[in-house]
Amino acid sequence: MKLIRLPLLLTVLGGSATAQTFNIDLNTANGTAGADWNVFAAPGDINGSTLTPNTGGSSGVTFSASGNIVDSTGSGLSNDLNRPSWVSAAAGDDFFWTDNNGTGGGESFTLTFDGMAVGSTVSLDVYASRDSTASVFGTYEYSLDGGNSWFGFDVLKNDGSAETADGWDSNDTQSQTFHINNDGYDHGRYLNISEITLTGSSIQVRITENTADDAYIGINAMQLAVIPEPQSFAMLAGLMCLASVMLRRRI
């Protein structure tokens, strides 16, 4: 038994130090995206949730929401011909949104991923789509310091390459509004940050609609990839070397 325990411990540590990808399906009006997705039927289901990687197993990454986030009953919100390959039909065809309560604009909500190690590398895809005659456009931003500083996402084509049309080659989703009908639905564009190093344990995504009257803004699906900080791998390598020495001495 003593010869088994240490390798088993290293196996557990090794599993926690590998890259993990999390798929997020917001709303279930058009069904669920599948077993490899974290599915949230209503905004209230988000808070306090611990996310499951798409390969199964466990993680320490939590997911929460705050602000004016509302459940939609709409479906068929994404275009089958222009939807990115990482977004399933069920995940793309419904969403959470800011509501269109006519309060004069500026409604927003924030989604927070927490529990990651400082120094980890993260990439995040955000998909927003809606076929609508309303003014469905707004600002999408992310923060790495708990909301003190905010930055815009890059916009990609549905095949994952950089978008060069309509000003997206020189603007991001903070400096230019993202129209989830013309951009998301018609062209399959999506929002992205790649290989960002975490300065804290969290990354926040804030969505703000910036028009009045019956305007709103929303989000359909997300994909988060987390690579632990290099120190985790160094520590793991050191433990493996120590384990090897201890096993040789026992033998």
Dump pLDDT digits (tens) for 25-51.
999 999 999 999 999 999 999 998 999
> pTM of the entire structure?
0.85
With the C-alpha atoms ordered 169, 175, 177, 180, is the resulting torsion angle positive or negative?
positive
| pLDDT at 13 (0 to 100) | 40
- If you ran DSSP here, which 8-state letter would residue 156 be given? E
Model confidence band, residue 100 (pLDDT cutoffs 50, 70, 90): confident
Same domain, 185 and 64: yes
If one compares 210 and 23, the residue with the highest pLDDT of the two is 23
Q: What is the DSSP string of 59-103?
A: -S-EEEEEES-EE------S-TTT--TTS-HHHHT--EE-----S
What is the CA angle 190-207-167, rounded to 5?
45
Split at pLDDT 50, 70, 90, the class of 169 is very high
What tokens does 234 get?
Answer: 């160094």
- Whether residue 127 is found in the same domain as residue 9: no
Tell me whether strands 221-227 and 121-127 are parallel, antiparallel or unpaired.
Answer: antiparallel
8 and 98 fall within a common domain: no
Q: What gap in Å lies between CA 240 and CA 235, rounded to an integer?
A: 9
Mean per-residue pLDDT for 96-103?
Answer: 78
- Enclosing domain of residue 201: 20-227
Total count of domains within the chain: 2
94 and 174, same domain (yes or no): yes
Mean pLDDT of 1-30: 63
Nearest to 117 by CA among 11, 5, 215, 19: 19
Tell me what the mean pLDDT of segment 184-189 comes to: 96
Q: Is 48 exposed, middle or buried (0-12, 13-18, 19+ CB in 10 A)?
A: exposed
Tokens of 168: 């997206």
Lowest mean pLDDT among 55-69, 89-103, 119-133, 134-148: 89-103
Regarding whether 77 and 5 lie in a shared domain, the answer is no
- Tell which residue, 197, 205, 203, 202, has the closest CA to residue 228: 197
Both tokens assigned to 232:
């985790």
- Domain shared by 246 and 136, yes or no: no
DSSP string, 6-71: HHHHHHHHHHHTS-EEEEEEE--BTB---TTSEEESSGGGTTTEEP--TTSS--S-EEEEEES-EE
CB neighbour list of residue 11: distance below 8 Å, 6 or more residues apart: none
Average per-residue pLDDT for the chain: 86
Q: Do 248 and 143 belong to one domain?
A: no
> What percent of the chain shows pLDDT beyond 70?
81
88 and 157 share one domain: yes
